[in-house]
Structure 1
Amino acid sequence: MPALSFQLHTTDTHTKARAGTVTTDHGVIETPIFMPVGTVGSVKALTVQQLEQEVKAQIILGNTYHLYLRPGTQVLEQAGGLHRFNGWQHPILTDSGGYQVFSLAGNRKIKEEGVVFQSHIDGSKHLFTPENVMDIQRSIGADIVMAFDECPPYPSDYKYAHKSMELTHRWLDRCIHHFENMPDKYGYTQNLFPIVQGGTYKDLRTASSQFIASKNLTGCAIGGLSVGEPEEMMYEFTELCCDELPVQKPRYLMGVGTPWNLLECIALGVDMFDCVMPTRNGRNAMLFTSKGVINIDNKKWEKDFSPIDDGIDCPLSNYYSKAYLRHLIKAKEITGLTIASTHNLAFYLWLVKEARKRILDGSFAGWKNEMVEVLKTRL
């Protein structure tokens, strides 16, 4: 019996939005959920305590490519896995490193065996295969492990997207075989999610979704979107994939996105999201709030002593003023990056929690349509 289970509580009557519960050995995740990205074992500028108390995160991500390069699996194994290494005692998901290999690594070469790549840190050569990527993620200690896939660029021609998808499917079979023939580490169950690919071609996305569904794993992920295609195209292919994927399994849309992207994709049937946007944009003075988008760098906030966002449930966002945060950002004070990043993540977690509440009480569709327009407003 897998440790990860998914209970679907309700589906909205006017959209395809779902409210559910994912249960892992490290705790329960209420969906829809946003997962802060902890690339190298930490969510940038935040402590574990801030993630728990201010952001109220339920699950975070670790990145296989980065953690493999440093501190390395030997250190992580000696620590007892990433949970013990960084002190986060709740669920962790690790991506496969595929996206980073294809976007960050220099001089990479894709073969049937796997991908040979050069480290972006020191130029050293490495090989990722479906098998050793499963080993690395076991060593990191994730509750949810992602299959090794190729993420084709946008745009890709049909021939390339088709060949890439078939390679991802062959790699998935190797991931499953290896994963199922090796023990869990650290005394808790680890769970494998496959990834849908197929570029921006309907027949390929349909075929890939059906192939992934046929594997009957504990959840499903949609990859290869939010890589430069127009928003409407992202929504179209997200809906297509959700319609093909199993109803009783959690659906994870990788690397998405803005607050309005989250709401639109929740309405299409997505349960789980991750993105670096709230922390990256926060570090660059962009705040997402319940009233719209703020560039805190702007002079208009210099004497605005109102809270950053009193519309959300976050002590930090209710406590510090826009004027104070602007001062910290202008002065290049590190504390400013922490406050901005913490606020943005707290806002994202508030938004998905509110969406869940609306799905459960039947008011999601109207609220979503109003909220999308508010969220896009530049203040």
Structure 2
Amino acid sequence: MVFWRKKKNQKEQEQEQKDDELLHRKGEPELEPPVEYEAELSEELEHELEETETEILDEIEESPVPNKDVKPQTDRLEHKTNDLDEDHDAEGGWLSRLSGGLSKSSSKLTGGLTDVLTRKKLDEDALQDLEDALIMADLGPKTASKLAGEIGKERFGKDITPDEIKQLLASKIEGILKPVTRQMEVKKPEDGPRVILVCGVNGVGKTTTIGKLAHQLHYKLGKKVVLAAGDTFRAAAVEQLKIWADRVGCTFVGKELGADAASVAYEAYEAAKKQDADILLIDTAGRLHNKSNLMAELEKIKRVLAKQNENIPHDSILVLDATTGQNAHAQVIAFREAVEVRGLVITKLDGSAKGGVVVSLADQFNIPIYAVGVGETVEDLQPFKAHEFAESLVGISS
């Protein structure tokens, strides 16, 4: 078992300074160093980390950490609530970021609705144009047909204004999204930490999402958090998660590159329980190109954790990249074969015009959507809300 800490030789000190320059930009307050544990990295791992240094630093550059003084998380902050949505109304800022993040998707959808919005009556041609526009906006054929059909039932052959079309469409989209609007449970069970598996293919922002969640759980809710590096086949993921843990001030548990992920999860649970932590977030591999191995690995993690407590993991989150559009459906199907996906986090909604995929995911899978991300900062990952999302997607300003 290894609790990762930096070695005090010249090479490691130079790397530490390089990481700190990337993560702690000019103008930010100084961060206090975390409590250190003694550990030696294997020669194999040091070699692997050297080879992937550029990849690691590139990922960190794209994932800024909070502009905030932090201290090692030796104790909980004063508990405020178990509700991540408590401060959602700092909303002025969040709603504007959501609308801005969905601007590409909104522009694509409203642009496709031009012909519909210029008609005075909702006739057959208008409904076909509406369905086509929804498909082009990545809502998918089934969901697009469903929405067009529902709108047609209510207003077919009747006079309708552009604003009425938008309002009606937003209302129908909200109706699809409301059943999956659910917050991630963060309350600590009586018999140990809440254990949350975080899954997703490489590149979706999984490790960064874990870091942002850890920050919010600690600083907003006062939770004591432990992070486990279960994606042992990517040095970048291990190193990036370690840096997030240091900056948030929480315990990081990891092993050498290529280690058994189930062993990492098991020992992380032991450490979290010993420290009386509230939440254990476990990163996992995302190698869908080797699906059978991935499924076996996730199954083993679940089996090993169940030996500690038959009720864990308490939650399994799948992180999806919105820029993949309808391919996100295939990822949900694949991961559901390996683990019981209980919630979704959808990232990078600001990166493309494919935000409509959120609606089709809700319609086709009925899996709770815990949070959405519309940018790189910690504050850009927020609990999902159906009403705000629906209105932002169709371009209605609140």
Do the structures match in fold with TM over 0.5? no
Judging by fraction of residues, say which structure has more helix.
2
TM-score (norm: length of structure 1): 0.35
Structure with higher RCO (Cα < 8 A, 6+ apart): 2
Judging by fraction of residues, say which structure has more strand.
1
